[in-house]
Structure 1
């Protein structure tokens, strides 16, 4: 098997690859993942001590000097409920600042196989597919949106083809259950700016997903590029997008919303198909408040801001008197 990783082989060979493979196990209740900007360190330790599930970016592990991912022998992240983000927004910003990169599409600095190797060695709860964000600043005001949506689906196809080939090789020496456990499928990410664009991205994503018969319908699907937008805009607001996607999602599929504002949680919790969200708003707030107060933005200050933000987010997500929870589209049908 020609790959960059060496996996522990527990059972005997079967030659059988997994069938009906599930890509994730979403939580029963709405979950907030706190963003960690490092591959370890005090913020991760604080998240562990506080019992917070976390989101970490692949970029936190990438060494731009060597062009490789550096995975520490031990990190507090290994003891956490961690999800791995492919760092599409960071890749776009680096591309704009530095020009063509050496990896996927000339935008990412790493290859498909490098990213999958990171995911399989880190062993997160789930990892996202690679994607191209569609904020207006990334699309020349919308000119490149269609291309970026199609490229996101193409990246998913490439990842699934590699995973399938690796599984076939790995199955020569391992049981199907070991293959399934060690070589997981990603959480696909749909992209766009307007509701119609997200619907197009969903259709393309499902067209790709359904070509791979070894996969079950996605249990979890990512909704990208939602942090820098007006929540209530009738075309590109988060709630308009969630309303528009509800009837189009595959039965049983839930959504992870990348970068949700805390102010959105009072309403996001009303959507039964939204499984989880993540945010690094606490860290931005920590920098701003430290500057305004003339104090050091120390790890202790950032940790305290993390706690305050997460406590407020968890309070917003809890059911309150007068909440009007929605029936899911499938339940109503």
Structure 2
């Protein structure tokens, strides 16, 4: 099964849908025959029977409504899960069951986003990259067991361009066998700057194998003219930005944000994105590379940094669960390193 199906000279704009209920919005998506992306969160069942919101599994019956779509792909809902629930409510095995419940064009690995709202400092960014590496490995192994590894899309994470390369290097075996790789933490990223969207794509264009193409999650439409320069590398992007504009328009017009109203905004939004794909390529001026921070001069801070590095290595290898890591354990680990250095 070919999970890509894209012209190397084009970028596919995928429409993110907030649900798969059989109504005006889904009917319009069928009519447009545009590839669709659905979030795992949109297929979740919840209960407040015990007085709080509890995840109860997947509403896979909703997938029956997607049969006539051009194609449907699955996103793991990483950002929503981190912001709303402070983590995934479902396990890797739960997610694999969902991925196996429908012939998705592709389904993305679980990953740990690093937007500023989620990862406040550099150490947290690096920790979440390590978690992403391990999540990719676990998803790929379980996908092979279920026979759905051909449609599995690995996802890399990072804040700086070099972070994404490091993540890709740690997943080199997985990426070598994947023609499409997802790039996370894109939707709130500026276009310009040393950590901007174009800087990340340009860095990956030089770092990844030539045949590897990218899916960029949640890219803003005004970035498309700049991405036109990377049509050989960027296979697809997705967005649900039309929902935001529909909400604002409904508020201004003092009317209900019905599915039919949102569907009109979706169709208009898609027309705008297609027009942007036809625009002349825009290029940014040279952007100097940001050098990584130096090792701390303070011996105790250096021991803390080394302890976190060693823990991240164990997380990536599967010898340590990231949920086991606490601030106290980091300090105890660092104390052992500090003592060994002083005694040595």
TM category, shorter: 0.7 to 0.9
Cα 1:38–1:154 shift into 2, 3 Å: same
Count of residue pairs the alignment pairs up: 271
Q: Where in structure 2 are the equivalents of 1:15-94 lying within 5 Å?
A: 24-28=3-7, 29-42=10-23, 43-65=25-47, 67-72=56-61, 75-80=64-69, 81-94=71-84
For 2:67, what is the secondary structure of its paired residue?
A: helix
Provide the alpha-carbon RMSD of the alignment.
2.0
- Tell me how far 1:93 sits from its aligned partner: 1.4
| Equivalent position of 1:204 in the other structure | 170
1:240 aligns with 2:199: yes
Contact 1:78 1:122 in 2 (8 A): no
Distance in 2, matches of 1:135 and 1:277, equals 18
| Equivalent position of 1:118 in the other structure | 98
* Unaligned runs of at least 5 residues, structure 1: 1-21, 97-106, 168-181, 211-215, 326-333
Distance in 2, matches of 1:251 and 1:303, equals 38
Q: 2:121 aligns with which of 138, 141, 146?
A: 141
Q: Where in structure 2 are the equivalents of 1:1-333 lying within 5 Å?
A: 24-28=3-7, 29-42=10-23, 43-65=25-47, 67-72=56-61, 75-80=64-69, 81-96=71-86, 107-167=87-147, 184-207=150-173, 209=174, 217-234=177-194, 236-271=195-230, 272-318=232-278, 320=279, 323=281
Distance in 1, matches of 2:99 and 2:254, equals 40
Distance in 2, matches of 1:247 and 1:62, equals 38
Higher fraction of helix: 2
Contact 1:24 1:125 in 2 (8 A): yes
Q: Normalization by structure 2: what TM-score?
A: 0.74
Higher relative contact order (CA 8 A, sep 6+): 1
| Equivalent position of 2:320 in the other structure | none
Contact 1:23 1:126 in 2 (8 A): no
Cα 1:261–1:323 shift into 2, 3 Å: closer
Cα 1:164–1:23 shift into 2, 3 Å: farther
Q: Normalization by structure 1: what TM-score?
A: 0.76
* Unaligned runs of at least 5 residues, structure 2: 48-54, 284-344
For 1:275, what is the secondary structure of its paired residue?
A: strand
Larger radius of gyration: 2
For 1:270, what is the secondary structure of its paired residue?
A: helix
Contact 2:143 2:152 in 1 (8 A): no
